[in-house]
Amino acid sequence: MRSLIRKFQSYWLADASFVTLLIMLITAVFVLPVIMEVTGRGVLLFNMLLLSVFFSGIFSTRSVRLISVSAILFGIHLALRLIRFGENPYSFFVLENVIGIANTLVFLFINLRLLFRDQIVSAYRIVGAVNVYLLLALMGALTLEVIHAATGASIGGNVVLNGTDDDYGHFIYFSLASLTTVGFGDIYAVNTPARMLATALSTLGVLFPAIVIARLVGLASR
């Protein structure tokens, strides 16, 4: 068992794991919203994929503290999901997404550490930078879910929200539009928390190439 865990950790600590994570994130960010919209299904698959992403974070670092934090957050997140999808009347939707946001933040930190370790730049590291960008978009979508559940409003326009996981497609779309500073205008923030989140995502979207990409280019030029 220990040998299997070590092999699993060795893989997620290697640069090649950036490609696997990219496939998982592309599926979560771009593919599953389409499946959920067209077929009306995919909610369970989305939750399983999200948990899989967070589970990989446990093995993506050698830091005992980060492993412990990731494992605890993953355990809580998994338990809350099982409670909601189980045969019982209980649900902790807001708490689920708060834990999801915390897990995403920890996973972002872990991936940034992996991205800039040993001062080496390669094609895998560029993929890692894309992963960080998509994780920011995912965190924005989860935060919008919390805002909507807590205040009863978040985004408006050409969108109908029902307060469930089915809203994820709208939230990730708005999050990406804000992060890339595109702002199509078909969907917009309707209250102050959502507006501040959109502003924060836009700021991160502008700073990302100025800091992360510039850092990678600087390392490559050496």
The confidence score (pLDDT) of residue 214 equals 82
| pLDDT tens track for 149-193 | 999 999 999 898 988 888 999 999 999 999 999 888 899 999 999
Q: How far apart are CA 107 and CA 115, in angstroms?
A: 12
* pLDDT > 70 in the chain, percent: 97
The confidence score (pLDDT) of residue 88 equals 65
The confidence score (pLDDT) of residue 89 equals 65
* Structural domain count of the chain: 1
Domain range for 131: 2-221
* Mean pLDDT along residues 135-143: 96
Specify burial of residue 163 (Cβ count, 10 A radius: 0-12, 13-18, 19+).
Answer: exposed
Whether residue 118 is predicted with pLDDT greater than 90 in this model: the reply is no
| pLDDT tens track for 34-63 | 999 888 778 889 999 999 999 999 999 999
Q: How far apart are CA 66 and CA 58, in angstroms?
A: 8
